[in-house]
Amino acid sequence: MNKPDFIPYAKQWIDEDDIQAVVDVLRGDFLTTGPAVAQFGDAVAEVAGTKYGVAICNGTAALHAAVAAAGVGPGDEVITSPITFVASANCALYVGATPVFADIDPRTYNIDPDDVERKITSRTKAIIPVHFTGQPCDMDQLRAIAQRHKLVLIADGAHAIGASYQGKPAGSFADMTTYSFHPVKQVATGEGGAIVTDNPDYYEKMLLFRSHGITRDPAKFRFGHQPWYYEQQTLGLNYRMTDFQAALGLSQLKKLPMFLQRRREYVHRYNEAFQNMPGIITPWQSPDGESAWHLYILRLRLEQLNVGRDQIFQELWDRGIGVNIHYIPVYYHAYYRDLGYAKGLCPQAEKLFEAMLTIPLYPAMKEAALERVIDTVLAVVKSHLR
């Protein structure tokens, strides 16, 4: 018998118009920063409901640029979630600051604002909540905490382009919100990212940071004036996005409403299929927000099963279902252990991590694949009910 096709947990959707958009740039004058880069930054800002957007080479660089613009530095602490990709915490280390982990809310898996407040010290400079799976964090409470303690609020929106909170784009609630356009995300540019903000000072700083700290604007020069002159004013990096990536991003953004609609439809199908199944808890959605549904995570009721999460993972994988784990708590990683972080910091996150299982979700998923995921998950879980 042939093995059934493997269904990945995520995959990009590329049409002919996306390909044409890239080819048009390749035939033009600019390969790296050209007009599409600025247009893409603006377009992301429009989706996010902010004044400014900076397109950048990836979501990690976006976080780095944001913490640098916020003035986070050596001796500072930055509070983030342990249930995230390592970049949300690593960005603090890049600028010499210390990541501090606050526990998660067991319903949304997003950072728990009460625990954020408990973890604030005189050294805390910023909070980096992550809109995990695309579901917006409790921005009302996080904003209030940030204001009360004079902290910069940087939302890691890598999962959340197109999400909304209280009827408005979720990207408009933090001082800065960062995005990733890696191919598993809703909008793909290969590698790619952006930061959005309403703050002109952060915006200017991030533009400089993206390109070595160099300005070419004569109005801003402190020293020279010659026609060939440019001036490095701060320490930045080469974090530029290319024009062909930005053109792909612009083309992809036009399809974002359709992508989100399909994701919502598939989520609805999963919820219907799994909500009454013993052994499984479907994702809980706060009425305050509308998720952009980057990931669909099943939580296993381990007390009802005769095996652990890893056995269920393996059996699904062996049947061609691209399951995944989002995420290993950041401070479990060897690098963080070497820095002195230890298990026990965030009990909710640690407990939930043992029970979480991501199943495939992407707009290009075919009906037959969706049905296969549903049938296989139900069969595997059923075979392990106590």
Ligand X SMILES: Cc1ncc(COP(=O)(O)O)c(C=O)c1O
Residues that bind ligand X (CB under 6 A): 58-60, 84-85, 87-88, 130, 156, 158-159, 180, 182, 193
Residue with Cβ nearer ligand X (22 or 128):
128
Residue with Cβ nearer ligand X (186 or 215):
186
Residue with Cβ nearer ligand X (181 or 270):
181
Cβ(61)–Cβ(193) below 8 Å: yes
Cα–Cα distances in angstroms (integers) from residue 339 to residues 112, 253, 296, 342, 377, in the given order? 24, 40, 32, 9, 38
Cβ(283)–Cβ(334) below 8 Å: no
Find the shortest distance in angstroms from Cβ 60 to ligand X.
Answer: 3
Find the shortest distance in angstroms from Cβ 185 to ligand X.
Answer: 7
How far is Cα 188 from Cα 13, in angstroms, rounded to an integer? 8
Find the shortest distance in angstroms from Cβ 127 to ligand X.
Answer: 15
What is the maximal distance between C-alpha atoms in the chain? 78
Residue with Cβ nearer ligand X (25 or 87):
87
Residue of this chain nearest to ligand X (CB atom): 59
Q: Report the Cα 280 to chain-centroid distance in Å.
A: 25
Residue with Cβ nearer ligand X (50 or 180):
180
Residue with Cβ nearer ligand X (61 or 208):
61
Cβ(331)–Cβ(337) below 8 Å: yes
Find the shortest distance in angstroms from Cβ 318 to ligand X.
Answer: 26
Cβ(133)–Cβ(159) below 8 Å: yes
Find the shortest distance in angstroms from Cβ 159 to ligand X.
Answer: 6
Find the shortest distance in angstroms from Cβ 61 to ligand X.
Answer: 7
Find the shortest distance in angstroms from Cβ 371 to ligand X.
Answer: 28
E strands, the chain, in order: 52-56, 77-80, 98-101, 124-128, 152-156, 164-165, 168-169, 176-180, 193-197, 214-215, 231-232, 280-281, 289-290, 296-300, 356-359
Residue with Cβ nearer ligand X (58 or 211):
58
Say which residue the tokens 């613009």 belong to: 69
Cβ(358)–Cβ(6) below 8 Å: no
Cβ(102)–Cβ(111) below 8 Å: yes
